[in-house]
Amino acid sequence: MNRYYTILILGGITFGTAAIFIRFSSLSPSFIAFSRFFVAGLILSRGRLSLKEIAGKWRPGLLLAAHMILFILSVYRTTIIDSTVLVSTSPLFSLALAHFVGIRTTKKELIAGLLAFLGIVIMNYPLQAGLLLGNFLAIISALTIALYTIILAKGSTEDPMILTSQIYLASSIFSFPLVLLQGIGNVNMTSLLSLLGLIALPTLIGHTSVIYSSGHVKPQHIEIIGLLEPVVASVLAVPLFGQIPTSTEVLGSAMVIVSIIVILWRR
C-alpha cells in the first residue's frame, strides 16, 4: 500500500472526530464551517497568499463550501439519520461521474462502493422518514463532494500545502455569507476548544489528506475511504457519550471496513 492510501486512511480516521467536536460546540454551523477553513488556510499558506491564485481555485472552493453548507441545511430540515445516510451516497455519485470523465471504474470498485453504501444504510437502520427538502439537500450535498473529488483528481503540479491553503481560503469566502445570516452562536471555552479540534484534526489532517492524495488516488477510492468517518464516530461515542453501538451499527461498520479492504487489496 503506497503512502497516499496510508495518508487517506489517517485522514479518514480524523474525519470521525468531526461529529464529536461539533456535538460539544455551541457555535453556529456556518461559523464553524467558515472558521475551520479560513484558519486552516492561513496556517497552510505559510504567509504565501495570492488573491489571484485563491480566486483561481473557485471551483473546488465553491464545491467544498456547498457541500458543508448543504449538509448543515439538510440537518435542519430532515432527521440527522436521513441526512447522514443520504450524504453517504457520495461514493455512488463518484463512481458514476468517474465514468463520464473517462476515469476507468473496475468491477472491484463497483462492489466496494455498493458494499460501503449498504454498510452505511445498515448502520442507520431503521431509517426515519424525513422532510423532502432536507433529504434533497443532503443528496445534492453528496453530489457536490463527489464533484469536488473528481475535479481534484486532475492533479496539480503546485505545492500540495499551498494548493490546499488556496482551496480552503476560497471555500471560506463562499461560506462567509451564511455566517452573516446565522451569526456566530454561543462563544465559550468548550466551543472554542472544539473549534480548535475541528481545525487540527478533520480539517488540517482529514481534508488536507484528500487534496494531497488527489491525482495519485482515484476519486472513487477517496470517497469510499472517507466513509471511515461514521465508523470512527460510532467508536468514539462509546467512551465519550456512553452510546453503545447496536448490532446493525456493528454490522454496517464491518461492511464499510471490508469495502475499504477490497479497495486496498494487493495495492
pLDDT in tens, the chain (267 residues): 688 999 999 998 998 888 788 878 888 888 998 999 999 999 999 888 889 999 999 999 999 999 988 887 887 777 666 677 778 788 888 888 887 777 778 888 888 888 988 888 887 777 666 667 888 888 899 899 999 999 988 766 678 888 999 999 999 999 999 899 989 999 999 999 999 999 999 999 998 999 999 888 888 889 889 888 778 877 887 888 787 878 888 898 899 899 988 888 866
Confidence at residue 179, expressed as pLDDT on a 0 to 100 scale? 93
Amino acid 80: pLDDT: 61
What CA–CA distance (Å, rounded) separates 51 from 46? Answer: 14
| 4, 217 contact by CB (below 8 A) | yes
Helix (H, G, I), strand (E, B) or coil at 262: helix
For residue 85, give the nearest of 256, 260, 262 by alpha carbon: 256
Do residues 40 and 204 touch, judged by C-beta distance below 8 A? Answer: yes
- CA angle centred on 15, ends 13 and 18, rounded to 5°: 130
Q: Which residues fall within 8 angstroms of residue 80, CB to CB, at 6 or more apart?
A: none
Phi and psi dihedrals of 67, rounded to 5?
-60, -50
| Alpha-carbon gap, residue 248 to 201, rounded angstroms | 28
Q: Quote the pLDDT of residue 130.
A: 62
CB-CB contact of 140 with 263 (8 Å): no
pLDDT computed for residue 191 by the predictor: 93
Positive or negative, the CA dihedral 8, 108, 231, 24 is: positive
Residue in the structure block whose three cell numbers are 499558506? 45
For the entire predicted model, the pTM comes to 0.83
What angle, rounded to 10 degrees, do the helices at 132-152 and 80-87 form?
30
Specify the 3-state DSSP secondary structure of 185.
strand
pLDDT at 206: 92
> How much is the pLDDT for 267?
62
Assigned C-alpha cell, 40: 486552516
